[in-house]
């Protein structure tokens, strides 16, 4: 089933008709009325798309078709916003607002940018259940949110110093937060990540200096577990924190009592439902509980006097060799069939190729992909798989265009530097 695309004319207008290469061509003579016509066309196309989006979406009988239709338009409008953002190439977010001194081209881009932004907000507010939280936010939103985060980080750092938070944990937190706030790093922030980081910053801002009456859980440690900061470094920190305390005790019985105490404390801690820094990795709470249970069992059996920090708490995808991806087996098989039929993959025999592929590919739902399953999926293709792969390929094209914009931006910076 081919899903309709409501932004086809707008896409052509922004990506081709008003591309800077055409508008800044020395031989191009563009009248003022053409700028007005382009702006009017863009505005009318968005009005038409807004009117059609809801009735068309709810005309589909299957939920997956509604979801794909909405997510396709979400992805498309974010791509168009990124194109306009790269055309304008703003140094600050405030430069995206139209000013009287702007040229006709800048005014055109900024007006279309604001209208596209309004359309994206409409999609998010009208179809929250179909909104793709795993999609990247637009480059313009990233620029704005990084400015907001950076202004909050300075106050948070002062607050953590005032309440005497553990310096080692503060260093780990800011290594992560500084990385996502640095616009020179070109990080990709999804809508899920955006919400998570906002929750983390809010939690840090509301942190209180009081403890719960035990030495184990300072407020910052509680926040790490509550918001499930399940990167390896944070898991290692908590294990090290426990080890230092337990290894101060001299007798095995006291060590066991302390370990049981920690196990009980962590088991009773609250965690925010459905929240994790690394979505497919195990939670901090579960990892530390399992490690404590193992240490208690080992200590009871050997009566050893010391415990050690695990060599490394690994995320689910860290200890397996190969390539981990979010494609399904069916999508992976179809992707390789596309490349094979387009002659980008030149293997003559399919079965050995699928056997080789199954040795190093792991999907989100299957750690060990069956070669037979891949081979069968290579030939037996359904429409749902085509549609879902189409959506992912569209996202790949968006990423490719973003990289292209970044490369052009760097080239432009080098050129302007040489002129100086």
Q: What is the pLDDT of residue 418?
A: 59
Residues 6+ away with beta carbon under 8 Å from 123: 53, 70, 73, 74, 77, 131
- Strands 323-324 and 361-362 turn out to be parallel
Window from 150-154, 277-281, 381-385, 414-418 with minimum mean pLDDT: 414-418
Of residues 375 and 303, more confidently modeled:
375
Average pLDDT, integer, range 111-134: 95
Confidence of residue 209 (pLDDT cuts 50, 70, 90): confident
Q: What is the pLDDT of residue 374?
A: 82
Confidence of residue 317 (pLDDT cuts 50, 70, 90): very low
Q: What is the pLDDT of residue 119?
A: 96
Measure CA 152 to chain center.
21
Q: What is the pLDDT of residue 44?
A: 96
Q: What is the pLDDT of residue 83?
A: 93
b/e code 135-158 from CB counts within 10 Å (16+ = b): bbbbbbbbbbbbeebeebbeebbe
Confidence of residue 156 (pLDDT cuts 50, 70, 90): very high
Average pLDDT, integer, range 133-145: 92
Q: What is the pLDDT of residue 268?
A: 87
Confidence of residue 410 (pLDDT cuts 50, 70, 90): confident
Q: What is the pLDDT of residue 165?
A: 87
- 3-state DSSP assignment of residue 398: helix
C-beta of residue 127 within 8 angstroms of C-beta of residue 67: no
Average pLDDT, integer, range 279-298: 86
Only one residue has tokens 């459905």, namely 274
d(CA 358, CA 373): 9
Give the range with max mean pLDDT: 51-65, 205-219, 305-319: 51-65
Helix (H) or strand (E) holding 295: helix 284-302
C-beta of residue 235 within 8 angstroms of C-beta of residue 277: no
Structure tokens at 272: 């925010």
d(CA 189, CA 194): 6
In terms of Cβ atoms closer than 10 Å to its own Cβ (0-12, 13-18, 19+), residue 349 is exposed
Average pLDDT, integer, range 162-176: 90
**If you ran DSSP here, which 8-state letter would residue 282 be given?**
P
First-to-last alpha carbon distance for the chain, in angstroms, is 55
Distances (CA, A) of 370 to 35, 195, 326: 56, 36, 16
Q: What is the 3-state secondary structure (H, E, C) of 144-195?
A: HHHHHHHHHHHHHHHHHHHCCCCHHHHHHHHHHHHHHHCHHHCCCCEHHHHH
Q: What is the pLDDT of residue 318?
A: 45
- 3-state DSSP assignment of residue 92: coil
- 3-state DSSP assignment of residue 82: helix
Structure tokens at 24: 């800044």
Structure tokens at 288: 């530390």
Q: What is the pLDDT of residue 43?
A: 95
Confidence of residue 308 (pLDDT cuts 50, 70, 90): low
Does residue 176 surpass a pLDDT of 50? yes
C-beta of residue 371 within 8 angstroms of C-beta of residue 377: no
Window from 120-134, 269-283, 311-325 with minimum mean pLDDT: 311-325
Average pLDDT, integer, range 158-183: 90
Residues 6+ away with beta carbon under 8 Å from 218: 165, 166, 211
Average pLDDT, integer, range 304-313: 53
Q: What is the pLDDT of residue 117?
A: 95
Distances (CA, A) of 307 to 294, 299, 310, 344: 11, 8, 9, 54
Average pLDDT over the chain, rounded to an integer: 85
What would you report as the CA-atom Rg of the chain, rounded to the nearest whole angstrom? 27
d(CA 244, CA 225): 19
pLDDT tens figures, 368-402: 677 787 888 888 888 878 887 887 888 888 788 88
Residues 6+ away with beta carbon under 8 Å from 144: 93
Window from 204-213, 240-249, 256-265, 392-401 with minimum mean pLDDT: 204-213
C-beta of residue 403 within 8 angstroms of C-beta of residue 21: no
Does residue 319 surpass a pLDDT of 50? no
C-beta of residue 156 within 8 angstroms of C-beta of residue 178: no
pTM over 0.75: no
Structure tokens at 95: 């430069």
d(CA 68, CA 49): 16
- 3-state DSSP assignment of residue 134: coil
Window from 119-133, 156-170, 211-225, 302-316 with minimum mean pLDDT: 302-316
């Amino acid at each position: 089933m081919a899903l309709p695309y409501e932004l086809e004319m707008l896409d052509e207008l922004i990506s081709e008709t008003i591309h800077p290469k055409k508008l800044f061509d020395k031989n191009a003579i563009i009248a003022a009325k053409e700028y007005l016509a382009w702006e009017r066309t863009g505005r009318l196309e968005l009005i038409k798309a807004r009117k059609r989006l809801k009735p068309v979406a709810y005309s589909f009988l299957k939920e997956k078709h509604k979801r794909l239709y909405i997510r396709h338009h979400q992805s498309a409008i974010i791509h168009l916003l990124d194109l306009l953002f790269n055309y304008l190439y703003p140094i600050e977010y405030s430069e995206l607002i139209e000013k009287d001194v702007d040229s006709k081209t800048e005014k055109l881009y900024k007006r279309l940018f604001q209208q596209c932004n309004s359309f994206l907000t409409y999609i998010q507010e009208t179809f929250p259940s179909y909104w793709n939280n795993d999609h990247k936010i637009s480059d313009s939103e990233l620029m704005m949110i990084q400015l907001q985060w950076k202004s909050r980080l300075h106050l948070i750092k002062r607050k953590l110093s005032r309440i005497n938070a553990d310096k080692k944990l503060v260093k780990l937190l800011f290594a992560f937060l500084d990385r996502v706030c640095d616009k020179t790093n070109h990080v990709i922030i999804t809508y899920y990540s955006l919400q998570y980081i906002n929750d983390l910053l809010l939690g840090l801002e509301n942190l209180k200096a009081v403890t719960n009456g035990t030495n184990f859980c300072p407020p910052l440690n509680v926040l790490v577990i509550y918001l499930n900061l399940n990167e390896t470094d944070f898991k290692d920190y908590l294990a090290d924190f426990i080890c230092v305390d337990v290894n101060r005790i001299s007798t095995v019985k006291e060590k066991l009592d302390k370990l049981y105490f920690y196990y009980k404390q962590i088991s009773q801690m609250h965690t925010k439902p459905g929240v994790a820094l690394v979505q497919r990795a195990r939670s901090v709470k579960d990892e530390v509980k399992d490690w404590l249970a193992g240490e208690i069992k080992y200590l009871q059996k050997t009566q050893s006097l010391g415990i050690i920090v695990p060599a490394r708490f690994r995320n689910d995808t860290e200890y397996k060799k190969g390539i981990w991806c979010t494609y399904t087996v069916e999508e992976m098989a179809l992707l390789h069939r596309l490349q094979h039929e387009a002659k980008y993959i030149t293997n003559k025999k399919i079965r050995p190729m699928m056997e080789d592929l199954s040795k190093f590919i792991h999907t989100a739902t299957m750690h060990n992909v069956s070669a037979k399953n891949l081979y069968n999926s290579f030939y037996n293709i359904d429409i749902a798989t085509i549609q879902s792969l189409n959506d992912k390929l569209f996202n790949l094209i968006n990423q490719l265009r973003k990289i292209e914009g970044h490369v052009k931006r760097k080239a432009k910076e080098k050129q302007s530097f040489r002129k100086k």
